[in-house]
């Protein structure tokens, strides 16, 4: 079985080029839309650029690494108190696309807190037979 480099790159570049903001949300359930993610925001990143995400290929697939650098995390400010649960990758408000959701450490965030997140990844592995 085989998937081309173009396939992996195109799929992950949708995220790399499309995600402009990371939100930490406290939804009791996973957001299912851009609007739902925005409503339950606890903190959000500054604008993310393509340099904050690095695409790399290997023999078993491709990985997009989301950096922990200052552009993404250090400027994150707490907008509301609550229990952090989801990390949402969103487009600009104009496009209003919810690109990706994952979970994070479930932790209560209080007024004045700052948030740091180590780098994390999204990987597409090579296809295998069912």
Partner 1 sequence: MDNDKDKDNVIKLEDKKKPKGNEQKLDVQSGTLGGKNGFGGRK
| Contact status: 55 vs partner 1 (CB under 8 A) | no
What is the rounded CA–CA span in Å between residue 78 and residue 42? 6
What is the rounded CA–CA span in Å between residue 43 and residue 20? 14
DSSP string, 6-27: HHHHHHHHHHHHH--EEEEE--
Q: Which is nearer to partner 1, 38 or 62 (CB)?
A: 62
What is the rounded CA–CA span in Å between residue 52 and residue 20? 10
Q: Which is nearer to partner 1, 8 or 94 (CB)?
A: 8
Q: Which stretch binds partner 1 (CB under 8 A): 33-41, 47-55, 91-99, 103-111?
A: 103-111
| Contact status: 116 vs partner 1 (CB under 8 A) | yes
Contact residues for partner 1 (CB under 8 A)? Answer: 24, 61, 66, 78, 84, 87, 100, 102-105, 107, 109-118, 120-128, 130
């Amino acid at each position: 079985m085989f998937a081309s480099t173009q396939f992996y790159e195109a799929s992950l570049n949708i995220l790399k080029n499309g995600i402009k903001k990371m939100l930490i949300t406290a939804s009791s359930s996973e957001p299912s839309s851009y609007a739902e993610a925005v409503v339950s925001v606890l903190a959000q990143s500054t604008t993310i650029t393509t340099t904050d995400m690095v695409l790399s290929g290997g023999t078993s697939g491709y990985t997009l690494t989301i950096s922990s650098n200052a552009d993404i995390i250090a400027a994150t400010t707490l907008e509301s108190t609550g229990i952090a649960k989801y990390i949402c990758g969103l487009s600009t408000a104009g496009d209003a696309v919810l690109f990706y959701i994952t979970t994070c450490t479930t932790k209560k965030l209080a007024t004045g807190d700052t948030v740091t997140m180590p780098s994390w990844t999204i990987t597409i592995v090579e296809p295998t037979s069912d």
